C-alpha cells in the first residue's frame, strides 16, 4: 500500500494517469474474475470497463480499511452480480437440446442463444505469474469449471469464487458482499455441495502431459485422422459446436459425425489448429 500511496493521493485529486497505474496490475485478474461470473469473455470485458468507471467515481470513498485489491474486487463482484440480475445464465447446447443425429446436417445457429465462451489463453499469459501460478490460474477458468459454476445462484457463485479461487477469508468475503460470516459459511457449504464431484481446482495432469496430448490432438485434426482423434477421447466425450446447437454424445456418434461431415472427402490439410487453452 505504501508504494501505491503517491498514485492513490494523486488519483484522488483527479490524476487519470495515476489512476491507470493503480488499476493496471489488477486488469487481467479482474477480467478473469468477471469471466468466472459470466462465462463470456466479451461480457467480462464490458463489465470490467464498468468496474473501472465505478472505481474512478468512488475513489474518494476508499479509506484504506482494506487493501486496494480487496476494494477493487468488491466493486467488481457487485458489478457482476448486477449484471447477472439482468441476464440469463450461459450454458452449453447439451443442457437444452438432445444429442444430434450424426447423419443429419448441423443445425443453424440460434441468434438468441447465450452460450458459454472460452477465455482466451492470452489473458492468462499476459499476467506476470510464475509457471505454477499461471497453471493454477488456468485451472480456475477451465470451461468444465465454468459449466459447473453456471448451476450456482449468483450469490453462491460469488461466495465460492471469493473463498475458493481468490482466497479471501470468510470475514473478508462477508465485508465484500455486505453480509454476515455465518451467511458466507452457509452459502459456501451449499455451493460446495452443489459442485461436489463436478469440479476441482487441482490440476488433473501436468503441463508436459497436456502439451503432448494437445500436439497429438492437433495432428489428428490437421491430418483428418478420425481413428487417431476418436482414440484420444473418453467414452463419455461430448462434442459441442456453439453457436450451432448441435452436439454429439459418445465416441461412436462423434466418429460418425466426423466421417460424415467434418472429415468427409479429401480433408487432410483442410483444418489448421493453433494451440490455446480454455
CA dist., res. 217 & res. 215, Å (int): 5
Q: Give the Å distances, CA to CA, from 79 to 86, 123, 253, 259.
A: 11, 20, 42, 46
CA dist., res. 164 & res. 182, Å (int): 16
Question: For 214-265, what is each residue's pLDDT tens digit?
Answer: 899 999 999 999 999 999 999 999 999 888 999 999 999 999 999 999 999 9
CA dist., res. 137 & res. 32, Å (int): 9
Rg (C-alpha) for the chain, rounded Å, is: 22
Between 275 and 226, name the one with better pLDDT. Answer: 226
Residues linked to residue 238 through DSSP beta bridges, in sequence order: 249
**Which among 182, 15, 207, 42 is positioned nearest to 125, based on CA atoms?**
207
Q: What pLDDT score does 134 carry? A: 53
Question: For 51-85, what is each residue's pLDDT tens digit?
Answer: 999 999 999 999 999 999 999 999 999 999 999 99
Q: What pLDDT score does 197 carry? A: 78
What average pLDDT score do residues 119-125 get? 72
**Three-class SS of 65-116:** CCCHHHHHHHHHHHHHHHHHHHCCCCECHHHCCCCCCCCCCCCCCCCCCCEC
Residue 122 has pLDDT above 90, yes or no: no
Domains in the chain, ordered, with CATH? Answer: 2-87+153-195 (1.10.1740.10), 95-113+205-262 (no CATH)
CB atoms under 10 Å from CB of 148, counted, come to 17
17 Cβ contact partners less than 8 Å away, ≥ 6 residues apart: none
Cβ(278)–Cβ(148) below 8 Å: no
Q: What pLDDT score does 54 carry? A: 98
Buried b (16+ CB within 10 A) or exposed e, 118-145: bbeeebbeeeebeeeeebebbbbbbbeb
Q: Give the Å distances, CA to CA, from 64 to 46, 60, 67, 211, 259.
A: 27, 11, 6, 44, 61
Q: What pLDDT score does 43 carry? A: 96
Cβ(121)–Cβ(277) below 8 Å: yes
Between 124 and 131, name the one with better pLDDT. Answer: 124
Residue 15 has pLDDT above 70, yes or no: yes
- Return the biggest CA–CA distance within the chain: 66
Report the chain's terminal Cα–Cα distance, integer Å.
33
For residue 4, the 8-state DSSP code is G
What average pLDDT score do residues 2-17 get? 91
This prediction's pTM: 0.82
In this prediction, what percent of the chain has a pLDDT beyond 90? 69
Question: For 159-175, what is each residue's pLDDT tens digit?
Answer: 999 999 999 999 999 99
Residue 203 has pLDDT above 60, yes or no: no
Residue 277 has pLDDT above 90, yes or no: no
CA dist., res. 252 & res. 238, Å (int): 11
Q: Give the Å distances, CA to CA, from 201 to 8, 170, 188, 240, 253.
A: 34, 19, 15, 23, 30
In this prediction, what percent of the chain has a pLDDT beyond 70? 89
Amino acid at each position: 500500500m505504501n508504494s501505491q500511496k503517491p498514485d492513490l493521493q494523486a488519483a484522488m485529486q483527479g490524476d487519470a494517469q495515476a489512476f491507470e497505474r493503480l488499476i493496471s496490475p489488477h486488469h487481467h485478474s479482474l477480467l478473469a474474475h468477471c469471466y468466472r461470473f459470466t462465462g463470456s469473455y466479451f461480457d467480462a470485458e464490458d463489465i470490467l470497463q464498468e468496474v473501472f468507471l465505478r472505481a474512478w467515481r468512488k475513489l474518494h470513498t476508499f479509506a484504506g480499511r482494506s487493501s486496494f485489491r480487496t476494494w477493487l474486487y468488491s466493486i467488481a463482484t457487485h458489478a457482476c452480480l448486477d449484471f447477472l440480475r439482468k441476464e440469463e445464465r450461459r450454458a452449453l447446447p447439451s443442457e437444452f437440446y438432445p444429442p444430434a443425429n450424426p447423419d443429419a446436417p448441423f443445425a443453424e445457429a440460434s441468434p438468441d442463444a447465450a452460450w458459454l465462451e472460452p477465455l482466451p489463453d492470452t489473458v492468462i499469459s499476459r499476467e506476470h505469474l510464475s509457471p505454477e501460478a499461471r497453471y493454477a490460474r488456468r485451472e480456475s477458468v477451465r470451461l468444465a469449471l465454468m459449466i459447473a459454476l453456471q448451476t450456482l445462484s449468483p450469490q453462491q457463485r460469488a461466495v465460492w469464487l471469493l473463498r475458493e479461487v481468490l482466497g479471501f477469508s470468510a470475514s473478508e468475503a462477508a465485508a465484500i458482499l455486505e453480509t454476515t460470516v455465518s451467511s458466507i459459511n452457509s452459502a459456501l457449504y451449499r455451493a460446495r455441495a452443489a459442485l461436489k464431484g463436478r469440479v476441482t481446482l487441482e490440476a488433473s495432469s501436468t503441463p508436459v502431459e497436456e502439451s503432448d496430448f494437445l500436439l497429438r490432438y492437433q495432428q489428428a485434426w490437421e491430418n483428418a485422422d478420425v481413428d487417431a482423434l476418436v482414440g484420444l477421447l473418453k467414452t463419455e466425450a461430448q462434442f459441442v459446436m456453439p453457436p450451432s446447437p448441435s452436439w454429439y454424445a459418445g465416441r461412436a456418434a462423434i466418429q460418425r459425425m466426423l466421417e460424415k461431415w467434418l472429415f468427409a472427402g479429401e480433408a487432410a490439410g483442410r483444418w489448421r489448429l493453433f494451440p490455446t487453452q480454455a
